[in-house]
């Protein structure tokens, strides 16, 4: 194969990021936009040993799983890579991804349960951080990044975002134009980095605002007045992020109007959520996610649960009325304050929450008289710190329930827990939290041998 040449290929599989896979001689070819069953023409972009990265040039014979994508931005926007694929095939791709990844990285051969399907497949995301930029002709644009690019694609609607989100986008773009407020340009000029949106789907409460590179926000009262036209607006925020990194939000948030939080409901429990709080982006599906996790754990009245990476306390508080005690730990101070408030809000008296790095604080729980016998892990995409897994093993819990948004880091951590520390994977349940994307949430339930 040579770079720049076009080849006719039969797509025989799907990669972990939703790209089509073809084979040509000794090469494995990855082609974004191609589907299992397609016959395509594709151009070689990069060759690395026996792996070839290609660009889809033409679909000669379409796959039986190929459908017309219902979004006009598909192919240009970097999100929703499976929007041109039947939902049944999406589910099949995700289940196979979980199986293959855990087998390859985790060295564990376990057949996942059927994927817990998403009932609401469109407009399900309750949070958005939408980048703002200037186009080449000087227009303010807001939307999402183009595929494998830092160029912002101007978007007026989105198939998976909450409908309210782009009402907020329109208002804030109008505010920026009216008062000549510039988008931030890395390392140079401008003010507004992102437009912030969050909604409680079961309460309809809306939080909106901007993330900027400046301590002072010009014309902030005018921004509040323009946003007040939104139904159910409960909070307007100004988050300050002066970093020159890919971190989306800073540590300091100014409340311009209303409450410091909005509320939402999971499994009949009410939760307060701040602008920096982690909260699952698909509230309808999170009912199934947490319900499945609790069902696997089978909590009993004598169980002591340690909810690590607890966020605002969602998983632990949802099972608190079934167990003796819940402890939660989280590195974000704001989240722990909300976890404590959420316990009071739901009249839960058997839950305690602590701020800190789990891998450092866990030692305080290892030698306690009623140490936890159930551990829940719900880490960020990077997975668990090795020192934390060592400490979990030292604690010797009977049950571990690991909830992951990245099956690769889940597989890495399962390799340690199972192949080094003699835990046994009893069940793996994929949950489709992110319909039309290649991402999948996964629950792994382990018991001590």
Which residues face 392 on adjacent strands?
Answer: none
Q: Is 318 a catalytic residue?
A: no
Residue 129 CA, distance from chain mean position:
12
Percent of the chain having pLDDT more than 90? 85
pLDDT in tens, 235-277: 999 999 998 877 899 989 999 999 999 999 999 999 999 999 9
Give the 3-state DSSP-derived string for the chain, with helices as H, strands as E and coil as C.
Answer: CCCCCEEEEEEEEECCCCCEEEEECCEEEEECCCCCCCEEEEEEEEEECCEEEEEEEEEEECCCCECCCCCCCECCECCCCCCCECHHHHHHHHHHHHHHHHHHHHCCCCCCCCCECCCCCCCCECEEEEEEEECCCCCEEEEEEECCCCCEEECCCCCCECHHHHHHHHHHHHHHHHCCCCECCCCCCCCEEEEEEEECCCCCCEEEEEEECCCCCCCHHHHHHHHCCCCCEEEEEEEECCCCCCCCCCCEEEEEEECCCEEEEECCEEEEECCCCCCCCCHHHHHHHHHHHHHHHCCCCCCEEEEECCCCCHHHHHCHHHCCEEEEEECCHHHHHHHHHHHHHCCCCCEEEEECCHHHHCHHHHCCCCCCCEEEECCCCCCCCHHHHHHHHHHCCCEEEEEECCHHHHHHHHHHHHHCCCEEEEEEEEECCCCCCCCCEEEEEEEEC
Q: In the sheet where 325-330 sits, what is the strand order? A: 351-355, 325-330, 304-308, 374-377, 399-404, 441-448, 423-431
Residue 187 has a pLDDT of 66
Q: Which of 387, 374, 383 is nearest to 447 (CA)?
A: 374
> What digits encode the pLDDT tens for the residues 193-223?
999 999 999 999 999 999 999 999 999 999 9
Write down the pLDDT at residue 18.
Answer: 86
* Residue of higher predicted confidence among 189 and 301: 301
- CB–CB of 249/239 below 8 Å? yes
Considering the candidates 80, 118, 405, 418, report the single residue annotated as catalytic: 405
Q: Which residues contact 250 (CB under 8 A, 6 or more apart)?
A: 211, 239, 240, 241, 242, 243
Dist. CA 438–CA 441, nearest whole Å: 10
The Cα 271–Cα 126 span in angstroms is 14
Q: What is the pLDDT of residues 389-418, one digit of tens each?
A: 999 999 999 999 999 999 999 999 999 999
pLDDT band at 349 (very low <50, low <70, confident <90, very high): very high
390 C-beta neighbours (distance < 10 Å), count: 15
- Calculate the average pLDDT of the chain: 94
Indicate whether 137 pLDDT > 80.
yes
pLDDT tens, position by position, 355-388 = 998 888 888 888 788 889 999 999 999 999 999 9
Please report the pLDDT score of residue 264 as a whole number: 96
Cβ pair 209, 275 in contact under 8 A = yes
């Amino acid at each position: 194969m040579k770079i720049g040449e076009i080849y006719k290929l039969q797509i025989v599989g799907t990669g972990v990021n939703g790209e089509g896979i073809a084979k040509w001689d000794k090469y494995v070819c990855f082609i974004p936009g191609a589907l299992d069953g397609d016959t395509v023409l594709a151009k070689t972009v990069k060759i690395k040993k026996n792996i070839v990265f290609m660009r889809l040039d033409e679909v000669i014979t379409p796959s039986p799983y190929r459908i017309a994508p219902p979004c006009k931005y598909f192919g240009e926007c970097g999100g929703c890579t499976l929007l041109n694929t039947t939902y049944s095939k999406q589910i099949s791709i995700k289940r196979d991804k979980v199986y293959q990844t855990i087998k390859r990285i985790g060295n564990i051969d376990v057949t996942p349960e059927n994927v817990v399907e998403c009932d609401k497949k469109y407009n399900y995301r309750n949070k958005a951080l939408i980048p703002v930029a200037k186009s080449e002709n000087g227009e303010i644009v807001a939307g999402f990044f183009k595929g494998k690019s830092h160029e912002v694609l101007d978007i007026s609607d989105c198939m998976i975002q909450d409908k309210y989100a782009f009402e907020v986008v329109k208002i804030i773009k109008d505010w920026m134009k009216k008062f000549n407020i510039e988008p931030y340009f890395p390392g140079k000029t401008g003010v507004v980095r992102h437009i912030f949106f969050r909604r409680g789907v079961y309460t309809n409460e809306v939080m909106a605002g901007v993330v900027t590179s400046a301590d002072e926000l010009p014309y902030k009262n005018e921004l509040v007045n323009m946003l007040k036209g939104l139904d159910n607006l409960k909070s307007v925020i100004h988050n300050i992020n002066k970093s020159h990194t890919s971190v989306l939000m800073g540590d300091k948030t100014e409340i311009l109007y209303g409450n410091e939080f909005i509320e939402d409901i999971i499994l009949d429990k009410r939760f307060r959520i701040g602008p920096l709080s982690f909260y699952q982006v698909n509230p309808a599906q999170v009912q199934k996610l947490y319900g499945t996790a609790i069902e696997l754990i089978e909590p009993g009245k004598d169980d002591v649960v340690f909810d690590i990476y607890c966020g605002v306390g969602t998983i632990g508080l949802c099972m608190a009325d079934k167990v003796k005690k819940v402890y939660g730990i989280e590195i974000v101070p704001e989240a722990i304050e909300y976890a404590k408030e959420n316990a009071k809000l739901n009249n839960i008296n058997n839950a305690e929450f602590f701020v800190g790095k789990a891998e450092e604080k866990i030692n305080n729980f290892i030698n306690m008289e009623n140490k936890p016998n159930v551990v829940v892990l719900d880490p960020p995409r990077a997975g668990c710190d090795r020192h934390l897994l060592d400490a979990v093993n030292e604690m010797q819990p009977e049950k571990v329930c690991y909830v992951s948004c990245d099956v690769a880091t889940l597989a890495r951590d399962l390799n340690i827990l199972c192949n080094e520390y003699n835990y046994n994977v009893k069940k793996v349940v994929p949950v489709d939290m992110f319909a039309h994307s290649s991402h999948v949430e996964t629950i792994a339930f382990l018991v001590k041998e």
